[in-house]
């Protein structure tokens, strides 16, 4: 465990590197360009499909359908940006938000890569490691799904088998159990209050589970407040 002076020195060095680095500046430039092009591509898909088949969407139904999902999903998107971008770093954020599957894949993969390498997010080394992790994970996902799609006929009975069903149904507890040991054990004081709160709230009101993404910032706020109190009292 580093003492306060050492920690302050490390952070000062990290700060100087990350705020003035041309690599990070260029990452923003390239990231905006790629994301902007992806955005245009994304909008082009329904336009191209509609034009090719000479069919047009029913705008009233689009608006109604959107009304059903937008209030929740636009809020979740905002929450994910605030919560995940500090973990993913600059390159990892631009790429991760384009390639999706953040909670179940890109974020844990990045946390694991940072932990194994010993570098912290916020340093340039951390930026390199997180970008490598998100990019690799994105490439592997695309390849596996492509293989699956083109071998759908032989694979479907195996993947949908009753034998394997529990394994895929329970992938999140299996993933977060291991992650918890790594992070909770190192930050037990900060983890205690939000963890107890979440266990109690989901045990008492199971229906909230469908909105778990909305509880990520709630957990963060609780953790920040309790950490702040402990920090001020010199407990951390």
Partner 1 sequence: MFNLNSVFLFVVSGTFIVFVLCQAIFFLIRAYREGMKMGMEKKVLMRTVKTSIAFTIAPAVSILLGVITLSKFLGLPLPWLRLSILGAITYELTAAASAAATMGISISEAITSGQIYVTILWVMTLGIIPSMVLIPLFLKKFQSGMSVIKKRDPIWSEHFMTALFMGMISAFLGVVFKDVSKGLVGFISVFIMMFSAAVMIVIGLLLKKYKIKALEDYALPISMLSGMAFSIFITGVIGG
Site for partner 1 in 103-142 (CB under 8 A): 103-105, 107-109, 111-113, 116-117, 121-122, 124-125, 127-129, 131-142
* Distance from C-alpha of 144 to C-alpha of 107, rounded to nearest angstrom: 19
Residues within window 138-197 making contact with partner 1, judged by CB under 8 A: 138-142, 144-146, 148-149, 152, 155-156, 159-160, 163-164, 166-184, 187, 190-191, 194-195, 197
* Distance from C-alpha of 55 to C-alpha of 51, rounded to nearest angstrom: 7
Rounded to the nearest angstrom, the gap between the alpha carbon of residue 207 and the centroid of all alpha carbons in its chain is 23
* Token couple for 48: 């191209």
The minimum distance between CB 160 and partner 1, in angstroms, equals 7
* Token couple for 170: 């329970």
Q: Which of 1, 154, 209, 234 lies at the binding interface for partner 1 (CB under 8 A)?
A: 209
Tell me the C-alpha to C-alpha distance, in Å, between residue 146 and each of 168, 208, 216, 232, 235: 19, 34, 31, 52, 51
Residues within window 22-81 making contact with partner 1, judged by CB under 8 A: 23, 27-28, 30-32, 34-39, 41-43, 45-46, 48-50, 52-58, 61-62, 64-66, 68-70, 73-74, 77-78, 80-81
φ/ψ (deg, to 5) at 162: -60, -30
Neighbours of 117 (CB within 10 A): 15
The minimum distance between CB 196 and partner 1, in angstroms, equals 9
* Distance from C-alpha of 143 to C-alpha of 101, rounded to nearest angstrom: 15
Q: Which of 1, 4, 229, 233 lies at the binding interface for partner 1 (CB under 8 A)?
A: 4
The minimum distance between CB 181 and partner 1, in angstroms, equals 4
Q: Which of 220, 229, 233, 234 lies at the binding interface for partner 1 (CB under 8 A)?
A: 220
93 binds partner 1 (CB under 8 A): yes
- Phi-psi group of 50: left, alpha or beta (phi > 0 → left; psi -120 to 50 → alpha; rest → beta): alpha
The minimum distance between CB 30 and partner 1, in angstroms, equals 7
CB 88 within 8 A of CB 127: no
The minimum distance between CB 31 and partner 1, in angstroms, equals 7
The minimum distance between CB 214 and partner 1, in angstroms, equals 9
Q: Which of 1, 11, 233, 234 lies at the binding interface for partner 1 (CB under 8 A)?
A: 11
Rounded to the nearest angstrom, the gap between the alpha carbon of residue 39 and the centroid of all alpha carbons in its chain is 19
The minimum distance between CB 192 and partner 1, in angstroms, equals 9
123 bridge partner residues: 121
């Amino acid at each position: 465990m580093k003492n306060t002076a050492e920690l302050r020195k490390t952070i000062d060095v990290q700060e100087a590197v990350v705020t003035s680095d041309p690599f990070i500046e260029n990452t923003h430039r390239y990231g905006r360009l790629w994301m902007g092009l992806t955005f245009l591509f994304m909008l082009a898909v329904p336009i191209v499909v509609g034009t090719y088949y000479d069919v047009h969407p029913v705008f009233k139904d689009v608006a109604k359908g959107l009304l059903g999902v937008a209030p929740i999903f636009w809020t979740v998107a905002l929450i994910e940006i605030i919560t995940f971008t500090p973990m993913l770093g600059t390159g990892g954020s631009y790429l991760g938000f384009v390639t999706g599957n953040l909670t179940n894949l890109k974020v844990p993969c990045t946390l694991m890569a940072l932990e194994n390498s010993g570098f912290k997010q916020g340093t340039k080394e951390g930026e390199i490691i997180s970008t490598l992790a998100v990019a690799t994970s994105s490439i592997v996902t695309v390849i596996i799904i492509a293989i699956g799609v083109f071998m759908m006929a032989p694979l479907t009975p195996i993947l949908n088998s009753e034998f394997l069903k529990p394994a895929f149904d329970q992938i999140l507890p299996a993933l977060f159990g291991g992650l918890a040991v790594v992070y909770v054990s190192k930050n037990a004081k900060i983890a205690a209050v939000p963890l107890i709160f979440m266990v109690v709230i989901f045990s008492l009101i199971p229906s909230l589970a469908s909105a778990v993404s909305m509880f990520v910032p709630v957990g963060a706020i609780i953790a920040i407040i309790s950490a702040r109190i402990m920090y001020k009292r010199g407990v951390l």
